[in-house]
Amino acid sequence: MAEKKAGENRSGKAAEQDAPAASARPARTRRERPAPGGTPRERVAVRKTHKLYIGGAFPRSESGRSYSVASADGAHLANAALASRKDARDAVAAARKAFGGWSGRTAYNRGQILYRVAEMMEGRRAQFAAEVAAARGARRPEAEEEVSAAIDRWVYYAGWTDKVAQVVGGANPVSGPYHNHSVPEPTGVVAVLAPQDAPLLGLVSVLAPVIATGNTAVLVAAERAPLPAVALAEALATSDLPGGVVNLLTGRTAELAPHLAAHADVNALDLAGAGDLAAELEAAAADTLKRVLRPRQAPDWSADPGLSRITPFLETKTVWHPVGL
């Protein structure tokens, strides 16, 4: 019995070394129900490895790096993958590859998929509430309220997918024998810096409007609280959302954001979580003529967003068509 236990300890140690991004929380032991006539035995709980989400898969950072994530009171929660410049390039490539298929889907179908994301989050409310409570130091009721607001935000943008064209597009009056129509179209690949102060509601509020209209996204999670974003990626992976539509990077915003701002295959940039880097990133984005959504001062993420985060990432195509005789 002593030999078996020693073997289990050696296996556990080896597993830790092979998975540098695994959670460093103390492993919990659970007492399993014994077989009839047997005795209870202790088992070590499986530690979770927090990875990136790129192209529909969950890879570790190519650099093999990770960093410690702490709760609001400073307690260690887990180790998250520390994404590199190469990871950022891979995420952009995956987003570009997925853009044609995602933008080509009907608006109604995109709305169905966004609603499915809300359904998946609803089924994992307890996990999201626990992640938000730990990240923000909030009480459980407050965390559950934020989770509810985040789920409702997905439903809100799911409803806009097949209506935004009627609101921001339309027929234009012209003087001549032809019709003139303006139609909104997605911009392309959008790099999104998630808000640092609202790791779930703020995250959903900047991500959902980007993909609702057919764009694809490279999302940099809140540096100090990336775990709700990782949990969201796990929900996205099981919600019929095609791989590559959303790509999640965790790590240092100051390390990843400049590469995304200067990347020639990124079409737009949302600076919601840029902080003091905003001016520098906006200047870098100007070199490749990116659309840039500047951060607001003290935004209220619980307020009705309207179309304020949808229209910045739309382009307008105007069509002239002769009138038949």
Spans of all domains in the chain: 79-322
> Which CATH number does the domain 79-322 belong to among 3.30.930.10, 3.80.10.10, 3.40.640.10, 3.40.605.10?
3.40.605.10
CA distance 288 to 61: 27
What pLDDT is stored for residue 15 in this prediction?
37
Collect the ranges in the chain with pLDDT lower than 70.
Answer: 1-39, 325
pLDDT for position 6 = 40
| pLDDT tens string 30-86 | 555 655 666 677 888 888 889 999 999 999 999 999 999 999 889 999 999 999 999
- Taking CA atoms, 107 is separated from 71, 154, 167, 218, in Å, by 39, 15, 14, 21
Whole-angstrom CA distances from 14 to 1, 20, 37 are 20, 11, 33
Residues whose CB is less than 8 angstroms from the CB of residue 277 and which lie 6 or more positions away in sequence, other chains included: 253, 254, 257, 258, 271
Res 79: pLDDT = 94
State the pLDDT at residue 46. 82
> What pLDDT, on the 0 to 100 scale, is given for residue 289?
95
Q: For the chain, what is the radius of gyration of the CA atoms?
A: 23
The amino acid at residue 199 is: P
